[in-house]
Amino acid sequence: MKPSSKQRSLLIGVLVILTVAVVIANRPPTADPNRTPPERAISAPQDFLDTKDTVVRAGDVVTSEGLSTRYYVAPTMKRYVFTDDQTFATWYPSTFQPKIINRKALEALPLAGNVTQRPGMRVIKFASDPAYYVVAHAGVLRSIAPRLLKSYYGPDWAKRVDQIEEYYRADYTIGAELSSFRDYSPLDQYTSSPTISIDKGVIPSIKVERKQ
């Protein structure tokens, strides 16, 4: 029995629909002009998925295979360099392990500068400068007399002194000299910078009210 003309028309219509569906399914995807590529998206404060499926988040400490240098990732998804172990130790315990990401993902995180020591932790000394400095919020160095250091840190204050390379002096700002015990509180300075982002001003700082 031959199909009627109506049945033939219906069959042809079905074949046409199936053909169009197959063509659409196999067509290469069209680039979305509003979609930001991953390597550009990291300039915004959001997670970044690298090519090894490792998510890099603000606040992470990262490195890459074959590198000894560690980096802090700020909310801007830019990285700050830990210039030495002394600086790293003021922010993290010695057992802390950075997240290892591939080199392409690391290089996609723009460099923003160097990490300075956490305030209130150590005493800084430069080889070319006889002065001792304590660190205040935002990387401000304040020169201080040994008698005041003894008042803050006890008779073994010299064990807190870190010799810093001269070329890292530029990472800090020189502030006013400390002339009184009341001009500086190691504990207040320490609590004012709970994270590197706050110390760098990427996140608003925490105001500490010192008790009189």
Domain check: are 110 and 176 in the same one?
no
Could you count the other beta carbons within 10 Å of the beta carbon of residue 129? Answer: 14
Same domain, 131 and 179: yes
How far apart CA 27 and CA 62 sit, in angstroms, is: 39
Query: Mind listing the pLDDT tens digit for each residue in 192-201?
Result: 999 999 999 9
Tell me which of 94, 114, 134 is where a domain ends: 114
Residue 54 pLDDT class (50, 70, 90 cuts): confident
129 in the same domain as 105: no
Predicted model pTM: 0.73
Which range has the worst mean pLDDT, 111-115, 150-154, 181-185, 201-205? 201-205
Give alpha helix (H) positions in 57-153.
Answer: 85-89, 103-107, 146-153
**Has residue 4 been placed in a domain?**
no
Spatial separation of the C-alpha atoms in residues 191 and 188, rounded to whole Å: 5
Q: Please state, in angstroms and rounded to a whole number, the distance separating the CA atoms of residues 189 and 135.
A: 8
What mean pLDDT is reported for the chain? 81
Q: In this structure, are 90 and 154 located in the same domain?
A: no
pLDDT at position 204 = 67
Domain boundary among 90, 114, 138: 114
